[in-house]
Amino acid sequence: MATAPFIHARYGYPPAISNRNNKPSIPSSSHASNSLSSASGTNSVQRHQSHRSQAMSTVTHGKSIASIGNLKSDPDHLLVLVHGILASTADWTYAEAELKRRLGKNFFIYVSSSNTYTKTFTGINGAGKRLADEVLQVVRKTRSLKKISFLSHSLGGLFARYAIAVLYSPDTNSRDQPSDLANMTENSLGTSFSRGGTIAGLEPINFITLATPHLGVRGKKQLPFLLGVPILEKLAAPIAPFFVGRTGSQLFLTDGKPDKPPLLLRMASDCEDGKFLSALGAFRCRIIYANVSYDHMVGWRTSSIRRETELSKPPQQSLDGYKHVVDVEYCPPVPSGGPQFPAKAVKAKEAAQNAPNTQNTVEYHEIVEDEIIRGLQQLGWKKVDVSFHSAFWPFFAHNNIHVKNEWLHNAGVGVIAHVADSLRHQEASSIFSASL
């Protein structure tokens, strides 16, 4: 099985110091030309108090919005924020205000509200379709929009991946314009999943996930609060649907009939359910942020789309200006025939469904997880590792990474700063390419 080669780069916009060789990094073409002000691990009390009022006054929380004209001052870049399981729009209060402050008026920041709380239990496909409908409504009411990006946390990343496949339209007049290193490398390798296309009729720019279980949660340390104990992992899969509905069986890869691939495997390809990989490939930049430890909900391997053998000891030192962001690497695409669901996987899935035991579940998980990775590695990714080992409350890592609560989880402000700079760079890049 081919292992994804990677080009290691310190993408933490200048100044940035490599934690591996302790030498200053050379900014690549994907770096912003001007760095925003550095974000520290904590903010002042005054700044915290202003975030909620700013967010409520400047950001739409999934509510009906008035039509916006095509004036030059109107925003043309839609940024959709998608929360995770059992969550609501309130999860983004800090992040939305900070992104609004850093990104300026070109962005229309919209916090999705179509899958709040227990609606997240109805299945990834159902939630994805609701999100797609919601985005279409926003686009229809906001005539100035030309570009679209997604920023999703946890399960919301899977909802967003399904939604973009629903919203995807192939571009018969493929965009032939400068892009970031990820797409340029893919094009040079002849990858067919980055040939353009639109999402909800808009130009797709960034697809970013924070602590999203791209490989599901089945297997050792994929759901960390089970502590990797085989008996707990064996029991979790059959009882998950009783607690989190259809979503549970999809996350544990046991959904559907034995002879049908699980949804997450189908979402790593273009299939009859949707052009999942083509939709992802249409985005100029795909970035995944992953907690290397202390995340009790989503393991490092599944959130960073890596095999166990591809994990290495992460640096301990943060990037300058981005506290707790410890490493960034670019993983170019690995051409392959795409994911498969061989006969042995069908047999293993049937055994895992009907007679779950440690041997059956491990065998099935290993087969399917590797196939999902093979599918998703057909695209290039920027992988950002985050470590809260030095934070006051490291065990809040899953909520720290997107600053769910500005008081309890403010260790993640450096992550949000890094996200903002990534978005700002791509915005500048798209403006530059449009002027050529």
Reported as a single tens digit per residue, the pLDDT across 31-42 is: 333 333 333 333
Facing residues of 199 across strands? 168, 202
Name which of 25-39, 104-118, 263-277, 376-390 the model is least confident about.
Answer: 25-39
234 or 46, which is more confident? 234
Amino acid 426: pLDDT: 85
Amino acid 51: pLDDT: 47
Question: CA-based Rg of the chain, rounded to a whole angstrom?
Answer: 20
Which of the four pLDDT bands, split at 50, 70 and 90, describes residue 372?
A: very high
> Is the pLDDT at 47 greater than 90, yes or no?
no
Residue 8 φ then ψ, to 5°: -80, 130
Parse the chain into domains and list their residue ranges: 7-434
Residue 433 φ then ψ, to 5°: -65, -35
Which of the four pLDDT bands, split at 50, 70 and 90, describes residue 349?
A: confident
Amino acid 287: pLDDT: 98
Looking at residue 198, its amino acid is T
Q: Are 231 and 209 in contact (CB under 8 A)?
A: no
115 or 86, which is more confident? 115
> Is the pLDDT at 161 greater than 70, yes or no?
yes
CA gap 195, 363 in Å, rounded = 36
State the average pLDDT for the chain. Answer: 78
> Is the pLDDT at 177 greater than 60, yes or no?
no
For residue 136, give both structure tokens: 């279409």
CA gap 350, 344 in Å, rounded = 10
Looking at residue 56, its amino acid is M
Per-residue CA distances from 275 to 121, 164, 199 (Å): 24, 9, 12
Q: Are 390 and 284 in contact (CB under 8 A)?
A: no
Which of the four pLDDT bands, split at 50, 70 and 90, describes residue 338?
A: confident
Facing residues of 386 across strands? 291, 325
76 or 196, which is more confident? 76
CA gap 310, 304 in Å, rounded = 10
Facing residues of 206 across strands? 285
3-class SS string, 158-200: HHHHHHHHHHEECCCCCCCCCCCHHHHHHHHCCCCCCCCCEEC
User: What share of residues in the chain are helix, strand, coil (percent, to 5)?
Assistant: 40, 15, 45
DSSP 8-state class, residue 226: G
Amino acid 429: pLDDT: 74
pTM equals 0.79
Residues comprising the chain, all counted: 436
Which of the four pLDDT bands, split at 50, 70 and 90, describes residue 73?
A: confident
Which residue has tokens 């509510």? 63
The proportion of the chain whose per-residue pLDDT surpasses 90, expressed as a percent, equals: 53
Q: Are 159 and 247 in contact (CB under 8 A)?
A: no
DSSP string, 57-125: HHSB-S-----B---TTS--EEEEEE--TT--GGGGHHHHHHHHHHH-TTEEEEE--TT-GGGGGS-HH
The proportion of the chain whose per-residue pLDDT surpasses 70, expressed as a percent, equals: 69
- Cis check for the bond before 339: say yes or no (omega within 30 of 0): no
CA gap 307, 309 in Å, rounded = 5
DSSP string, 369-399: HHHHHHHHTTS-EEEEEE--TTSSSGGGHHH
Taking only the tens place, the pLDDT of each residue in 305-320 is: 999 899 989 898 999 9
